[in-house]
Structures are given as structure tokens and as C-alpha cells.
Amino acid sequence: MSFKSKCSMAIVSILIFTAIIGAPSYATVSASATLQSAVLEQQTVDAPLTSVTPTMITTTVPSSTTTTVPPTTTALWAAATTTTSTTTTTTAPVVLASSGVVTAGDSKANCIYLEALNGVLTTTELSAVEQATGVTYDCIEQFADADPTWSDWVSPWPTGTVSDGWDAWLAASPDHQLVLGLNLVPNSVSPSGYPTNTGWEAICASGAYNEYAVTLARNLVAVGAGNTVIRLGKEFNGSWENDYVGSPTDANYASELANWIGCYRNEVTAMRSVPGAHFLFDWNPNTCMTSIPLSESYPGDAYVDIIGADFYDADCTTDGSAESEGWNKLYAIDSSIENSMSGMVAFAKAHGKPLSIPEWGLEGKDDTAYMNGIIGIVKTDDVAYQSYFDCNCDNITPLGPEVPASTAAYRQAFG
């Protein structure tokens, strides 16, 4: 999410986590060759969530929604026309996938981040956004990136209890997928405040944390979330993240980054080893960051299924929007910034990976130049999924009446 959202989302997440019963605590694991080889061979590391059965799920979320276009939206469509001196013609819709499973290809799946008050997914909230957008969402995004301890990390809160609606939604259709933002380690291992939170990368790279990754994978598979898209170590190039790797000006940058990559590879390998796991790993830097070149921090094609780029309607160099400075300026920023949105698109193509836009949104006002720019990327490039950040928080505006023109364009393209 955008830098301004980090603190508020972290506070909400911590409040949610403290209210949820986590998995049993784990003892600190020592790094040894014996342990590393045994991690992937052991039959059980932690008891999976076998107590979660379909009979326990009491909240039912419909797998499809019949949507009626409200009069206000119809009026907006009528207004979105191209006019000449003699004739008014309606632009033909750019029809893109409105639902469907996220794959490691050009699946163009439409996902959404929902505010989920107090962490609870409700039919009311989901139906409201589906009514506004015309999209039946098979993919919902959430965050488990402020986990206090390993016991929380291995049992992410959306799937760790049956009372908050997430398990019911997953069970309602085999096509339902969770996109999960997840740090490489919990906060107790990497407390906030770089560079005081360094040292864990080398331990993780040694394989000492592999068993937690195995347990996490088993727990997700056990609750029907074996097809989760995992944004592992998301926005690692942002100083607001607890597993931030620093910048090239730091004394231990090279070794720290190498160990971070080793940690990422270990956890991906461990999670993929679990029977029933069909996770997709989305390597997801934040755009508009100059400190860490993409080529230096990329874990390698074998460990990445999707390359993600978070991209809000705010130029990090000017704070301007696409409306105020033009789409091309926002898209390319500056040729010296490798991970501009244009740079991320090029990087994904160079590695033969589909792009994702895990977080995008309007920062406070209607902007059809930005909306149409995102639609153009999804239409033109190989895009696994895009997920609008539909949160009425931190100046990020949800789709609906506050941004009618942008909502009409979104609905026309994706609905």
C-alpha cells in the first residue's frame, strides 16, 4: 500500500491479531545442516487446522452475484461519450476478464482489497462493491504483514478462525482465491526500526526458519487456501517494512541483500514442498523507489511466478496525479528510476513473467487519465491480476459515488 497507509494498516492489523487465537508457540530453531535437511522430510511440523470443517462454517457468502446497473451508473455511462461537431458516439467497451482464477500467465483476474471492518468479511461489504463495479470477485486481497510472533505468522488471521467470514468465502467456490501480503518473518524476529532489525536475514538464509514456512503452507492447504497468491516480502524496498533490506549506501547492504534473497528462496521452496500446495509467489517491490535496482534484488525466475508493482495515482517525485501531469509522466516518472511502472512492465517482460498490480487506487479524487492508464496496461500487457485498493482510508478513495467517472470507466472495462 502507499507509504501513507503503512502505519494505520499496521495498527489495525495488530489489534486484529491480538483478538485471534494463534497457533501454538514455537521454540527458537537453531541453524544446523541436520535440521535443514530434516525440515522438508518430516511428516508433521505443526498440527494443521483440522478442526476447521465445512460443518463449522456458519457464514455463507454467495459465489456469484446478480448485479443490476443502478440508474446513476447508467447515467455516467451515457456521459462517457466521444463528441464531434455533428455526432455523439459511445466508445466501445474494453471488455476484460471480470472474474476467474489467478494464474502464472495472462489471466487478467480482477481482485479487490476490502476494508473488512474489524477483520470480518461480510456479504454486505462484498455485495456493495460488486454492485458498484459490476464485478463478481473471485479474488480478495488481505494483509498478514504485522504478525507479532511465529505462531501468528504460520496461521494468518484471515484463515485462522471460522468466525470472520474468510473461510466461508473460500469454501463457497473452488475458484475463490486469497491474495495475501506476508512479511518474510514476524515482527518479533524483525522489529521495526531499520537498521536495528538486521541479522535475521542470515539466519533465515541458513534454513533455520524453513519449518515455519512448511507449517504455514500446511495450515493454508488445510483450510482450502492452497491456491493463495502470496506477496512474500512485499515492498521490501520500502523503509516502512520490517523486512526492509536497506540501501546500497549501508555498510552491510550487499551481504544483507544476498541473505534476504536466500531467505526468500528457502521459504518458497519449503512452501512448495507441501502436498496440496499450489501457491503463486508474487515478487512485489514498490514502484518509484531508486535505492535497490530490480536486477540486484530479484530472487530468480525459478522462485517467482508473478512480478508485482504497487502503483497509486501519485507521482513520488512531484506528488502529481495523472490528471494534473499526464499519464505518461506518472507511468514513466524518470528514466533514471528503474522501478517506475514502465520499468516494472519491461522487467516482467524481460523475465517472461506476468505482471500484477496488487495495489492501485485514486488518492483522493476522480482521475480518468489514471484509471484508463491502468486499464490500458491490463489490456495490452500480460497481467495475472490487478487489485484495486478499495479502502476509505488514508486519502485512498473507494470506487463509487465519490469518484463517479473513474468508477464508470472501471465498470465498463472490468464489469
287-296 pLDDT, tens digit each: 876 667 888 8
Residue 333's pLDDT is what? 72
pLDDT, tens digit, 9 for 90 and up, residues 328-371: 988 987 655 667 899 899 999 999 999 999 999 998 889 999 99
32, part of any domain: no
130, part of any domain: yes
Closest CA to 279 of 118, 156, 126: 156
76, part of any domain: no
pLDDT, tens digit, 9 for 90 and up, residues 180-214: 999 999 989 987 766 667 789 999 999 999 999 99
H or E element that contains 355 = strand 355-360
Q: How many domains does the chain have?
A: 1
State the residue range of the domain holding 222: 3-19+95-414
Among the ranges given (28-42, 259-273, 387-401), the one the predictor scored with the smallest mean pLDDT = 28-42
118, part of any domain: yes
Q: How many CA atoms lie within 13 A of 261 on its CB side?
A: 16
Burial of 220 (0-12, 13-18, 19+ CB in 10 A): buried
Residue 97 confidence class, pLDDT cut points 50, 70, 90: low
Could you tell me which residues come within 8 angstroms of residue 195 by beta carbon, excluding any fewer than 6 positions away? 246, 250
Sign of the alpha-carbon torsion through 285, 288, 290, 296: positive
pLDDT, tens digit, 9 for 90 and up, residues 137-191: 999 999 998 889 999 999 999 988 778 999 999 999 999 999 999 999 998 998 7
pTM score over 0.85: no
We report the CATH number of the domain holding residue 184 as 3.20.20.80
56, part of any domain: no
- The answer to whether 311 and 386 have CB atoms below 8 angstroms apart is no
61, part of any domain: no
279, part of any domain: yes
330, part of any domain: yes
